[in-house]
Amino acid sequence: MNKTWERIKKRPVLYSLALSISICIIGMTGFEVVSLNTNFIRSGIFGGFFAGLFLLYPFVLTLINLVALFIVPKDIIWKKNFKRFEYITLLLGVIYSCIALSAMDVLDIIMDAEWNEVLYNNQKHQPVWLDAMPTVLVLCGVGILGYLVLSLFKLEKLPPLVIVLSMSAMYLGVSQCILWCVQICDISTCLICLFPFNCIIIAMKTIRCKIAEWNSMENKSDVSYEEKTALHALNNRLRNAACWPVLALVMMLPLLGVVLCILVLFGQRPDYLIKAWTETADWRLSQQIAPPNVQVDEHYLCTVAAGGHAGIVKPLRMGERHGHRVVVNRQLCIANAFEQILEERLPGFHRFVRYVYDTCGFPVARLIRTKLAADIVYILMKPLEWMFLIVIYLCDAKPENRIAVQYLPRR
């Protein structure tokens, strides 16, 4: 038991990762066995590995950082281990966040869509205004820089003013983390908020540890003043670690002013600090009202194809389908008019065609997630469109009138 504990103390990051992956592999393998999946070994191992690495391990790191925030280990080895967990949290947090942000469309969050763009179905606009993104990223970088100064350099080698400024820099980074969590956090996006939440925990832990470390040092007062000057009072304040959090909060404003002045030189504006979060729609801090989303019936190929690039699918107008606004193009109107004629003239055959279409069309339509895919479907359905048009012209005295009234709102 003691040998095992000593091994864990030497490689805590490796063992915590192995534990997360093992739990997920065992859990998913058991689930596949209960589900009578014959490939339970392969599914359990591969699925459990990725689930442990990308889903469970971030929560394990969060739990470890929370423990480190409230528990001060006396063993110097565990102090170093908690520091390792901080570094691995920042490293994996950046990597996982980049992966998550690149796959936000899975959650129907369109990162490049500004608040005034029309979206489809349940899609949401960007949570951070992209024009102000450099301001947000620079403030986050300043916070990480402040953390690295306090974490990598020995405290006795740092002037108190540098320590306070580093804490101020961390405050700036923490403010962006808090704004991100307030803006976007809910059940579906909790994983995206784990990294900024961990950054807040790490910042609090670093400040607390540095204050305790400074108080444990001896001979902190190495300068004496014969007269009670303002410099003497300021020096005493800076050397009183209990005042650091408040002083850092005061120094945060001039540091923010310096950062914003530098950003102005690169085309940013001071109000982008606020507009980054308010010049959005659909989120908690948003102050813009987005146009209503267009409803695209993702079960129907023609409706989905109407959501392709305008130069290809050639949208004509807005229409109404099942009480929702939809984009209407000529192909969609022709297909619906053909189905209408089929229902009027051959109702029995229409029911059979509808059954086959619903059975085969639904799975294909669910695969159409991009405009390029919609363009391809539109082109592939062109021969059917021409065939439908021939039938309409053969069966209707006023074919264009029938086509034109498709998807008009009911009075």
Report pLDDT for 28: 84
Question: Letter for the amino acid at 277?
Answer: W
The reply to whether 167 falls in a domain is yes
Report pLDDT for 228: 58
> Does the pTM of the predicted model rise above 0.85?
no
Looking at the fold, whether 175 and 257 belong to one and the same domain comes out as yes
The reply to whether 13 falls in a domain is no
Looking at the fold, whether 255 and 385 belong to one and the same domain comes out as no
* Structural domain containing residue 137: 103-214+236-292
Of the chain, the percentage scoring pLDDT greater than 90 comes to: 34
Q: Domain tally for the chain?
A: 2
Looking at the fold, whether 263 and 352 belong to one and the same domain comes out as no
At 129, is the pLDDT very low, low, confident or very high (cuts 50, 70, 90)?
very high
pLDDT above 80: residue 109:
yes
The reply to whether 202 falls in a domain is yes
Looking at the fold, whether 204 and 116 belong to one and the same domain comes out as yes
Looking at the fold, whether 134 and 254 belong to one and the same domain comes out as yes
Mean pLDDT of the chain: 84
